[in-house]
Copies of this chain bind each other. A is one copy, B any other.
C-alpha cells in the first residue's frame, strides 16, 4: 500500500510548521480544547496516538495516568523532537505510517488522533484497522480538517469580505470530488485527501464503531480575544471531531 506523503520531514515545511505552532494558534485555541473536553479519563488505559507529532499529547496521557502510550508518526524530525521533549517511561514513539497499522497488535482502550486523518489515503481501511485494534467498549477520538475546508481543488476555499473588509462569507467548491488535494502550505505540493462528511461518518459506522459525538468546534469569545483572526471561524466550520465507541459485543 502506498504510504502517506511525509511532508513533515521536508526542512522548509518543518521549519514553517514549527514557527506556526510557537504562538497561540488554531490548534491550541480551537481544536485542542474541544479534543480535551471529549477525552475520557485515561487513568489505567492503553492508548494509541496516530500522528503523534512531537508527542505533547502522548506525554499528557502518561501524566494523566495512562498505563501505556504508543505514539506513531511518519516523520523522523517529529519523533526525534518527541523523544527529546516528551519522553516518559511508559510512552513509546515509533516511526510508522498510519497505513501500516496492520503491523500492530490490538488491545487499546483509546485510539486518539489529532489532525492527521486528512492525510490518509484510504479512510475505510484506516477505520477497519482501528476497529480491530480497539478493545470492545474502546473509544476512537479523532480530529481532522473539516470537509467544507478540504473540498475545494487546490484548497482554494476562501473568505469573501464585506464592504468594511470583514469576512462575511466562506466560498467553497468541488465538494463531491473526493480525493487528493494538492496545495501550498509552507512548501509546494502538500497533499490532503478530501472526503465528504457522508463518507467519513459512514466509514466510521461501517467499521463497527458507534458514533457518540460529532463536534465542529466554534471559537470561544476568550479564544477570539487571544487570536482575533479566529472571529471569522464563526461563519464556517473549521475542524471535524468524531468520537465513536467499539460495540462491546
A170 CB–B CB distance under 8 Å: yes
**Bound complex: CA A196 to CA B235 (Å):** 11
Contact at B215–A176, with CB atoms within 8 Å? Answer: no
Min CB distance A139 to B, Å, is 13
Min CB distance A112 to B, Å, is 19
Contact at A169–B172, with CB atoms within 8 Å? Answer: yes
**Bound complex: CA A237 to CA B214 (Å):** 18
Contact at B205–A175, with CB atoms within 8 Å? Answer: no
Chain B residues positioned under 8 Å from A213 (CB to CB): 198, 202, 205
A183 CB–B CB distance under 8 Å: no
Interface residues on A, range: 20 to 34
Chain B residues positioned under 8 Å from A202 (CB to CB): 212-215
Chain B residues positioned under 8 Å from A152 (CB to CB): 169
**Bound complex: CA A160 to CA B156 (Å):** 14
Chain B residues positioned under 8 Å from A66 (CB to CB): none
**Bound complex: CA A234 to CA B202 (Å):** 20
Contact at B196–A201, with CB atoms within 8 Å? Answer: no
Task: Tell me which residues from 169 to 199 in chain A have a Cβ below 8 Å from any Cβ of chain B.
Answer: 169-177, 196-198
A50 CB–B CB distance under 8 Å: no
A168 CB–B CB distance under 8 Å: yes
A223 CB–B CB distance under 8 Å: no
Min CB distance A157 to B, Å, is 8
Contact at B170–A234, with CB atoms within 8 Å? Answer: no
What are 13 A-B pairs with beta-carbon distances under 8 A? Answer: A160-B171, A169-B171, A170-B171, A170-B173, A173-B235, A174-B235, A175-B234, A176-B218, A176-B237, A198-B213, A198-B237, A202-B215, A205-B210
